[in-house]
Structure 1
Amino acid sequence: MSQQRIWISAWVYLVIAGLALIDAFIHLPQLVPVTAGLIVFFILLQFREVPLPQKIASIVLTGIGLIGAAASEHWAGVVIDGIARSRVFLLLFFAVSWLQYPVNQSPSLQAARRTIISQPPGRRFLYMSFGVHILGSILNLAGLGLLTTMVEKQKNTHLRRRMAMALINGYGSASCWSPFFIGMIVILVALPSLSWRDIGPWGILLALAIMTMSWLYDRLVLRTAMPSEAASSPVPISKQHFWRTAGLLGSLVGLAIVIVEFTGASIPVTLGLMGPPFAICWYMSLGAKGTRFPHRAKSLAVDVMKGLPSLRNEVLVFVAANILGVGISSAIPTQDVAAVVNAVLPWTDAKIFALILFFLFTSAIGLHPIIVVIALSAVLPPESLDMRDWVMGLTFVGVWGLSTMVSPFSGTTLFMSRVTGVPAHIIGWSWMLPTSLLNGTVIAVMIIAIRHLV
């Protein structure tokens, strides 16, 4: 095990995660300013390591939020509350950080990866799309990372594009329903009257539609542009690896459900509770006998701690977005904005289309969907638009993944940019925009149909 230094910012992050867990079960108002102060301290420690575009965007968003908060009589409390609201998202990142290490060493998951990427032309897109969807919906970005090997090794630029699009569509569509995805978490926090049961099952239908339409686009538009490839022999997955993979993913989901049902905790809190011990047990089971404990447990903990400062970009964006949201809600009268929107778009169905187009446009110009969700839910809550909360929530989860696909600054496009060697703005604006517009139209029609049927 390497003896690299664990920086003070990692310990600060650990304390923030601990305070978030405590606050979830024993709410102490005194902890709110303490947690907010620690979050600011973490950002200050890591700010110089943040890329310049993210620095500029976060400063602008924070500045707008502070100007809006200044209109409130209790502006300091508004700002502190906005910063402290980010703690639940930091807790989610903390939990996911533990799971990424055993994922890369699991023989069963590696076997599943080999089966997926070995599929021949004709069914490879579907296997890659649905495979990353299932793995990513539970393992998050670690699931996406499992399947990028084939994209990295592909020499044909057109095939590399198609494979990358299969992964992006499959992974991004998981935000329509997966309770382990940051998109679902943000939306449930922004619309507290909703639970996962209200929108999750419908979101599965939206995800299936997105992957199906993306496959049809690839089949009818992209695949015909190149001659067919030589068929390859797929590598089957053994029954042992299949059931181990299913058992692993099922146990993670099942344990989360049990904790939620018995404690009433939110999903981020549940993952914060179970993520570290689950990852430690999993990681230890992968080592050679006699070296599993405590060596591997300590090794995993050290690796996770050393990686916490790398979450600086996510922390900065989420804090800036929350400050913007509370600032705007303090400065802009909800009734006035809602009156204008309702006058221009008196029909709920038209508002659904408008929301989806607004998300795609703002994401394409660089705003992360978290900023849009928090700002819109603060200024235009569902009741102000004469829209049922689950309709707005379903619209948000349906378009979240599509928005991250077209954004040049989302984690998905930045990750795939590193994998493919293609600039993120090319992936977002050239590769993914046509399918995102197509899928945006499809999910709008589906949400409208569901709204009228339910």
Structure 2
Amino acid sequence: MARTLSTFCLLTACFCALAREFSDWLVFSPLAGGALVLFAFLQWPGISLTYRIFAILAPVLGFVLWIRGAVSAAVLAEAIDRSAFFTLFLTSLAVLRESAKTSQLVSRCGTVLVNQPPGRRYLLMAFGSHLFGVMLNIGALNVLGTMVRRAIRPASDPESQRIGGIRRKRMLTATIRGFCGVPLWAPTSVTMLLVLSGIPDLTWEQYAPLGLLWTLLFILWGAILDRLAYKRPRVQYVNGGNLSYLIPLVGLVALIPSLAFMVSQLTGLPLFSALLICAPVIGLTWIWVQYKGRPTRIKRGLLLRRMKRSFPETFINQRNEVVLFASSGFIGVILIPLIDPVAASEFLAQANISNATLMVGISLVMLAFAFIGINAIITVTLILGALQQLPDLNIAPQAQASVIAITWAIFAGASPFTASLRFIAGFSGISPLRFGIQWNGWFSASVLAIMYVTLYLVL
């Protein structure tokens, strides 16, 4: 009963988020807020302590600020709408991940990637991990990490162990770097959700070409460092499998923003909102295709059974993420009116802080908070909210988005507190701290150095 009611609450919040995209009716805001509060109450035993704090802090802070007249009812409604939209983001993309979990295409592509010859294995592993990450989020690391573990089973002699260790290190660093490139552009990443929510003057269509360029350079730079770090082994050619298996996966990844763009043009919705409408449709169609060869009646029954059994469990298992996203979005909106933009602008002018120094400082703050365990969702929400309040800010939105996205990509593969690094380190046999600093540290530091130098040259 609790699972059914919790699922209904999530779907109600999602419906209200979509309704607010089409309508100005304020009635949907309190309805969404009530649904989210009830969801948190029902799922309270399964919510971690840290997230419980956010679940309590957000409504209490909103109520206190409203009572004291610091924020208006309109701001509260906007904060609730942001929470509901973030919930829609999680729920919508959960359908896509649920579909990919049982796809033979994903399994086949993973097998092809881990069996490539050394000369091209790194680049293809990074590229494949990136594609998987767009579709599966952190589930991509589970798929590829498991396959790497199965593929590397060296003999007991020292030389075989040494070679196996090097191969494991190269494949896992390629996997995490490719995965960390997802925040640089992918509309399915939480980074893009926060960036586009926090910079109203920027659309995904405007940023995506630049983000894709950063992604390409990010992956290629990792490949260059890998090639410089390891001599090319003298081995016979290995048939790693047909790379044409990757083509459908590339097409599927490209389909997501393409279909969203078409829906956006037809409906007038922002592209990100259109994407969250398209993702479940693509996911359900993908599941339908997985049942190919069976009669239509059987496929329909299997699809409905999966929607009834698996989907609610998938949605509810995101209880911690739902609470974190919804609370962070809410807190970020209600705190923005408390910022004095004039005082902040005067401080920057008196301190003679240049645009480049400001953006470097923001990047360093994000990194520092990530390394002490403070969730980046809160950090980025508050930083972007404060930036948009500065009246004399003349930094291009694309530059702001680029700094946030690149910094996010770096700490995702460096901070031992990030889920991605903890996850991939589990397949390496070493601690997340050692993986992030020793295995991936030079790559992270070099990318940051290049970005900081570029900022001082351009801004």
Q: TM-score range by the shorter chain?
A: 0.7 to 0.9
Q: Does 1:284 align with 2:288?
A: yes
Quote the residue 2:260 is aligned against: 256
Quote the residue 1:21 is aligned against: 18
Alignment of 1:292-441 (within 5 A): 292-302=298-308, 303-381=310-388, 383-420=391-428, 422-428=430-436, 431-441=439-449
CA distance in 1, matches of 2:61, 2:442: 32
The sequence identity of aligned pairs, in percent, is 22
User: Which SS does the other structure have where 2:19 is aligned?
Assistant: helix
Q: 1:312 offset after TM fit, Å?
A: 1.3
Q: 1:191 offset after TM fit, Å?
A: 0.5
Quote the residue 1:200 is aligned against: 208
Aligned partner of 2:185: which letter? W
Aligned partner of 1:249: which letter? V
User: Which SS does the other structure have where 2:317 is aligned?
Assistant: helix
Tell me which moved more, 132-141 or 91-100.
132-141
Contact 1:39-1:83 within 8 A present in 2 as well: no
Quote the residue 1:236 is aligned against: 241
Quote the residue 2:127 is aligned against: 130
Q: 1:35 offset after TM fit, Å?
A: 0.6
Q: TM-score, normalised by structure 2?
A: 0.85
Contact 1:119-1:234 within 8 A present in 2 as well: yes
Q: 1:131 offset after TM fit, Å?
A: 1.6
CA distance in 2, matches of 1:232, 1:57: 54
Contact 2:180-2:410 within 8 A present in 1 as well: yes
Tell me which moved more, 201-210 or 80-89.
80-89
What CA RMSD, in Å, does the superposition of the two structures yield over aligned residues? 3.2
Distance 1:238 1:159, change over 3 A: closer
CA distance in 1, matches of 2:58, 2:34: 19
Q: 1:170 offset after TM fit, Å?
A: 0.9
CA distance in 1, matches of 2:148, 2:211: 28
Unaligned ranges ≥5, structure 1: none
Aligned partner of 2:394: which letter? D
CA distance in 2, matches of 1:212, 1:233: 23
Distance 1:438 1:377, change over 3 A: same
Q: Does 1:271 align with 2:268?
A: no
Contact 1:395-1:444 within 8 A present in 2 as well: no
Contact 1:132-1:170 within 8 A present in 2 as well: yes
Distance 1:71 1:376, change over 3 A: farther
Contact 2:257-2:275 within 8 A present in 1 as well: no
Q: Does 1:90 align with 2:87?
A: yes
Distance 1:416 1:262, change over 3 A: same
Unaligned ranges ≥5, structure 2: 154-163
Q: Does 1:106 align with 2:98?
A: no
User: Which SS does the other structure have where 1:123 is aligned?
Assistant: helix
Contact 1:138-1:178 within 8 A present in 2 as well: no
Distance 1:68 1:443, change over 3 A: farther
Contact 1:111-1:237 within 8 A present in 2 as well: no
Q: TM-score, normalised by structure 1?
A: 0.85
CA distance in 1, matches of 2:57, 2:440: 27
Distance 1:283 1:20, change over 3 A: same
Distance 1:242 1:9, change over 3 A: same
Contact 1:113-1:147 within 8 A present in 2 as well: yes
Contact 1:364-1:428 within 8 A present in 2 as well: no
Aligned length: 444
Contact 1:209-1:443 within 8 A present in 2 as well: no
Q: 1:357 offset after TM fit, Å?
A: 1.8
Distance 1:216 1:7, change over 3 A: same
Alignment of 1:16-55 (within 5 A): 16-55=13-52
Distance 1:307 1:105, change over 3 A: closer
CA distance in 2, matches of 1:6, 1:121: 48
1:26-69 superposed Cα distances (whole Å, 9 cap, x missing partner): 23111111111211221222233133344457767887777777
CA distance in 2, matches of 1:337, 1:406: 31
CA distance in 2, matches of 1:231, 1:150: 22
Distance 1:374 1:71, change over 3 A: farther
Quote the residue 2:161 is aligned against: none
User: Which SS does the other structure have where 1:73 is aligned?
Assistant: coil
